[in-house]
Structure formats: C-alpha cells, structure tokens
Amino acid sequence: MEMITVQQAEDIILSQTQDFGRETIPYTNALGRVLAEDLSADRDLPPFDRPTVDGIAICYDGYEKGNRAFTIKAIQSAGESSLSVDSETECIEIMTGAALDSSVDTVIRYEDILIDNGIATINIAIKKGQNIHLKGRDKKEGEVLVKAHQVITPAITGIASSIGKTTISVKKLPKVVVISTGDEMVSAESVPSPFQLRRSNGITIQSVLKKYGIQADAIHLNDDYDEIRQKVSQCMKEYDVLLMSGGVSMGKFDYLPKVCEDIGVEKLFHKIKQRPGKPFWFGKTQDQKPVFAFPGNPVSVFMCLHRYFIPWLEKSLAIIDNTPQFAVLQNDIDFPYPLQYFAQVKLNVNHLGQLIAESVNTNGSGDFSHLADTNAFIELPLEQNSFRKGEVYKIWSYNF
C-alpha cells in the first residue's frame, strides 16, 4: 500500500471512533471527565435579593423625601430570615449576602454612613437600588448553566456543588492498555547495561491519558513474536483500545504488524507521509476495537499520540470544544523531503497578542531531550519544502 497522507490517516482514524456510553459519578471525582448532561439552575441565581456590601438597608422613598438619619431597627446577618423596617425612617444593619426584605430596596456601605447612638446618618449621594445583586439576575431557575460535552473544569465542579448536583452523568472512559516493546528497553528502576536504555514511552502515554482521567495499564514486552502474539491477543479481549509502541518498522525484530495481522486485526493503514512517526500502523480488531501501533522513537510516539489518538479520544467522548489552534512561525524552516513535517516549537504570545512558535533544532525522533522545553508540534504542509518566518500553521499543543 502506498504511504498515505496525514489527512487520510486522520480521516481513517476518526472514522473509527466509538461511543463508550455514560455513567454517573460523584461530582467530587468529576474533574477532567466529560460532562454528559446539561447542568441547570435548581432555583434563581441568586435565589434572593442580597446586598453586595456590608452596611444598612433602607427604603429609598424616605431618602428621596429628604431624610438622612435612619434609626437602626435590627442587625441582620447572612443566612438569617429577612428583617423588615416599619417606616421610611428606619433601617436594617445588614451584611453582604443576607436576604433583603421587600420593605427595603437600597443598601449603603458602612464607609458612607456615620453611626451614632443607634442612628445611621448618610453622608453621600445615593442611588435607588444600589449595592444589590437582584434575585434571578444571573440565571433563572431551570436555565442551563453548563452545557454537556465539555471537559469538567474546577469552575464546573463549583457550579455543580452550588446547585446540589452531587452526582453527575459523564462519558464513560475506554479501558486502555499501553504495550511497549523492545529488548533493549529496561525499567526506570534498573541500571542499564552499556547497550540498554531505560524505557519512557509507556509512562509518557499513561501520563497524557491522565489528563482525561484514564488510568491506563502498561506492560512491556520483549521483541519476541510468541510473547507479543500471546499478550496482544489477551489484551484485545480485556481492553477497549490498544496503544502500542515500537516494533512497527522494517527491522528483523519488528513484529507488531505481523502479529496483529496474524491474530485477525485488520490493517487500516501502515506508514504515513510524515516525520516523525512515518511507520505508524493502525488497525481494528474483529469487534471494532482500535489498535494504534506507534513507531518506537519517543518523539514519534508523542507526536502520533497528540496528532491522532487525542482527536480520536475527544471525538469518541463527544467533546465539542476542540477548535484547531494556529501559531505564527518565528523562524525559517527548510525541509526537503516529501513528508509532512512536525517541528517541535516553543510557544509564546507577542505584543500583538498573537500566538508565536519558535522551532528548536533536534536530532530526530529519538531525541526526546527537547520535549520538556517545547510546548507543541507545528504541522508544516506536505506540498512545501520551505517555511518562512511570519507564516501561520496549525499546532498540536502538548501542554498538560
């Protein structure tokens, strides 16, 4: 099969999205999950007229008739039932957030009055209705406060709490397994021999998934056909999605494509006109589970994960707010190959408020040393070989 383009690969992957359904969870665990229902106001917001300052509440008519001295009838704190005045010459000392009675309609700050011997004297000009947050002013009972299909943020958990929504319907998450491969890759705890490396792809993938609340399992396999075949077959039964790294290129011990095909995973593509990540292999099991087999180089894994898997996940979870991002390139890049190039860039905002991207030089997809001081891949079109400062291209952010 001919190598396909990035766009074709994206189309194939996004045609394989799945709906994992929904579940109800405590709102305290909902951060980062995808809201599957609208959250509506259970009563007017605010639910009663309330002062926005500490001071006195009066009936404005009295002030308009020329009265400036008001007898303090009572003191009302927040949470108490509202207290009324009996005449236009009385006032209630009232605290921020208390429920105003219908006999008063204007609130004056302590800073703008003098209190002496139980009488409050107003010494500034005031306006009718000032310093009051009116009932229903923000939202009416039943109005939608938060629309479904968005990632639950700290602000949304606060709103849920305020409306007594202690359990929330969220999109169910897929069960994901991360399978890394490579005889030369030892665990982070080990001391590598001169010919070995500590592995990093598994934990990197698991970490990216945590942003969505997915706790993926991770296993590491040797480059051994039988071992890979046995483990991948087992994982296909136990998980909804397989994310694999390594073993997909031309090497004598790159077994993943063969294993997948031998156990009935249908190949949907192998190899994309892109760098990094060219030998990316993608398929689906007989029961339609997607299998992402990323090339082993750490930067290839990172790019393919953000460029293909995350959009697949966001579409599967029906997240609506995933508008593409663009940035202005800050330096010239020449790339003479017929591949779509994804350069690592540092993002910043310039004095015009534009997102700008400065690319860093790296030593290919095995060089993961710049991933921590960059924020995104900038996607440079296949049709061009030179890219100039000031041009605008799509970016794929990996800020967490």
Out of ligand LQZAQKY5, Mg ion, ligand MOO, none, what residue 311 binds, judged by CB under 5 to 8 A for its kind, is none
Give the count of residues interacting with Mg ion (CB under 5 A): 3
- Find, among 275, 279, 317, the residue nearest to 299 by Cα: 275
| Under 8 Å between Cβ of 223 and 253 | yes
Any contact of residue 340 with ligand MOO (CB under 6 A)? no
Site residues for ligand LQZAQKY5 per CB under 6 A = 180-182, 184-185, 197, 199-202, 245-251, 254, 276, 278-279, 295-298, 300, 365-366
- Left if phi > 0, otherwise alpha if psi is -120 to 50, otherwise beta: which for 186? beta
Please, which residues have CB within 8 angstroms of residue 54's CB and are 6 or more apart in sequence? 94, 95, 96, 109, 110
What is the footprint of Mg ion within residues 251-270 (CB under 5 A)?
A: 251, 254
Phi, psi of 204 (to 5 degrees): -65, -45
Please report how close the Cβ of residue 251 comes to Mg ion at its closest, in angstroms: 4
Q: How far is the CB of 37 from ligand MOO (least distance, A)?
A: 41
Q: How far is the CB of 378 from ligand LQZAQKY5 (least distance, A)?
A: 19
User: Is the backbone of residue 32 left (phi > 0), alpha (psi -120 to 50) or beta?
Assistant: left
How many residues sit in the footprint of ligand MOO (CB under 6 A)? Answer: 9
Q: What Å distances lie between residue 44 and 83, 103, 170, CA to CA?
A: 21, 21, 25
Q: What sign does the dihedral 319-324-330-332 (CA atoms) show? A: positive
Q: Contacts for 137-142 with beta carbons within 8 Å, 24 or more apart?
A: 137/45, 137/46, 138/45, 138/46, 139/41, 139/44, 139/45, 140/41, 140/44, 140/45, 141/41, 141/42, 141/43, 141/44, 142/40, 142/41
Q: How far is the CB of 182 from Mg ion (least distance, A)?
A: 8
Query: Least distance (Å) from ligand MOO to the CB of residue 319?
Result: 27
Query: Binding mask 269-308 vs ligand MOO (x if CB under 6 A, - otherwise)?
Result: ------xxxx----------------x-x--x--------
Q: What angle do CA 271, 277, 280 make, to 5 degrees?
A: 40
Please identify, using beta-carbon distances, which residue of 181 and 359 lies nearer to ligand LQZAQKY5. 181
Cα–Cα distance for residue pair 371/215, rounded to 1 Å:
22
- Among residues 174 and 298, whose Cβ is nearest to ligand MOO? 298
Does position 249 interact with Mg ion (CB under 5 A)? The reply is yes
**Smaller CB distance to ligand LQZAQKY5: residue 251 or 338?**
251
Q: Between 73 and 275, whose beta carbon lies closer to ligand MOO?
A: 275
Closest residue to ligand LQZAQKY5, based on beta-carbon distance: 296
Subset of 357-396 contacting ligand MOO (CB under 6 A): 364-365
Dihedrals φ, ψ of 237, to 5°? -80, -35
- Integer-rounded Cα Rg, in Å, for the chain is 31
CB of 297 to Mg ion, least distance (A): 9
Binding site for Mg ion (CB under 5 A): 249, 251, 254
Q: Which residues bind ligand MOO (CB under 6 A)?
A: 275-278, 295, 297, 300, 364-365
